Amino acid sequence: MMSFDQLLQAHCQHIEGAPMTETEIHDHLGVLPDWKFRNGQIQRVYAFRDYFDTMAFVNALAWIAHREDHHPDLGVHFNRCAVAFNTHTVGGISHNDFICAAKADALYAQRPFV
């Protein structure tokens, strides 16, 4: 299992094969405690002051996702954004999902959009 800092430094790779097991997923969630495993995805909701801050985060996250070539499902609302990752090529969760989740958490922690 990678540390938070190792996840931040890593980059997504093309992955095929078997998804992570539920045990591996839950072990990795220990590094990202605000994320939950539900419906075959890892998910988190981020809260914001208003729509502008929400959209600034969404745009910055979109740039990160494009750079990593690993794209989340987003639920965008007035003052919150629901983010969910899974890896279609493996039919479940992969290390790429945790890499991008860590990058999303780091973005949120920096709050460059406020």
**Residue 12's CB: how many other CB atoms inside 10 A?**
18
* Tens digit of each residue's pLDDT, the chain (114 residues): 889 999 999 999 999 999 999 999 999 999 999 999 999 999 999 999 999 999 999 999 999 999 999 999 999 999 999 999 999 999 999 999 999 999 999 999 997 655
Q: What is the pTM of this model?
A: 0.94
Token code pair at residue 85: 């990752």
pLDDT score for 1: 80
pLDDT score for 55: 96
Tell me the three state secondary structure of residue 89.
Answer: coil
**Residue 74's CB: how many other CB atoms inside 10 A?**
15
How many structural domains compose the chain? 1
- Residue 68: half-sphere exposure toward Cβ, Cα within 13 Å: 28
CATH number at residue 104: 3.30.1360.20
Angle between helices 95-110 and 51-68 (to 10 degrees): 140
8 A C-beta contact, residue 42 and residue 35: yes
Which residue segment(s) compose the domain that 57 sits in?
4-110
